Amino acid sequence: MSSTGNLAGRISPGVGVGSGGRAVCTACGHDLGPAAGPWKDHAGVREVPLAQAGGEAYDTGDDAVVLRQFHCPGCAVLLDTETAMRGDPALVDRPAAR
């Protein structure tokens, strides 16, 4: 799929709901799995300690808190970010209610 002009909904600014209830990248249309499921499992992820991501103000001397950056495997655009404790499961996003 290369067109994202007819999305059925949005999960986040970077992730839409395409035909057949599939989560898709809004930039390139890459399939990210079922919209009702954890789309982040189908994305690339980069995890960096918050101190490295946010600078000195976020440096607690403990690298247990991380910034996760989720990327589209199709076009590498940044789809979403979240802060989390290292090793915790990713937050699950659901399509927005209309």
Q: Between β-strands 31-34 and 44-49, what pairing exists: parallel, antiparallel or unpaired?
A: unpaired
Q: How far apart are CA 50 and CA 79, in angstroms?
A: 18
CA 48, 28, 95: angle at the middle one, nearest 5?
A: 75
Task: Print the binding letters for residues 75-94 with Zn ion: x by CB under 5 A, - otherwise.
Answer: x-------------------
Closer Cβ to Zn ion, 30 or 68, answer by number = 30
Query: Interacting stretch for Zn ion, rule CB under 5 A, among 14-22, 26-34, 39-47, 63-71?
Result: 26-34
Residues in contact with Zn ion by the rule CB under 5 A: 25, 27-28, 30, 72, 74-75
